[in-house]
Amino acid sequence: MAIQLENLVESIKSKVRSLKKSKKPYVKMDKSASVKVEIRSRKARKLIDKTLKAADRPGKKQIP
C-alpha cells in the first residue's frame, strides 16, 4: 500500500513539474452561454429577494 502511495505521489510531482516548465499549463475556457444565463439569473434572484425584503419593511431605511 505504501509503495502504491509513493508511486502516486511521484507521478503527481512529475506532472506538476512538467506543467511548471511549459509556458501555458492549461487553456482557460470561456463561460458557455448557459453558464452566463445562470449567473445573470442568480444575480437577478438576489436583487429580487433584496427588493422584497425592503418592501416588507416600508417605514425602515433601505437595505444596502
Q: How far apart are CA 44 and CA 22, in angstroms?
A: 41
pLDDT score, position 32 = 87
Give the pLDDT confidence score for residue 63 in this predicted structure.
Answer: 58
Please return the burial class of 54, using the count of CB atoms within 10 Å of its CB with bins 0-12, 13-18 and 19+.
Answer: middle
Q: What is the pLDDT of residue 29?
A: 76
pLDDT of the residue at 49: 94
pLDDT at residue 17 in the model: 82
Read off the pTM. 0.44
pLDDT tens figures, 19-62: 777 666 667 778 888 888 999 999 999 999 998 888 887 776 66
Amino acid 28: pLDDT: 72
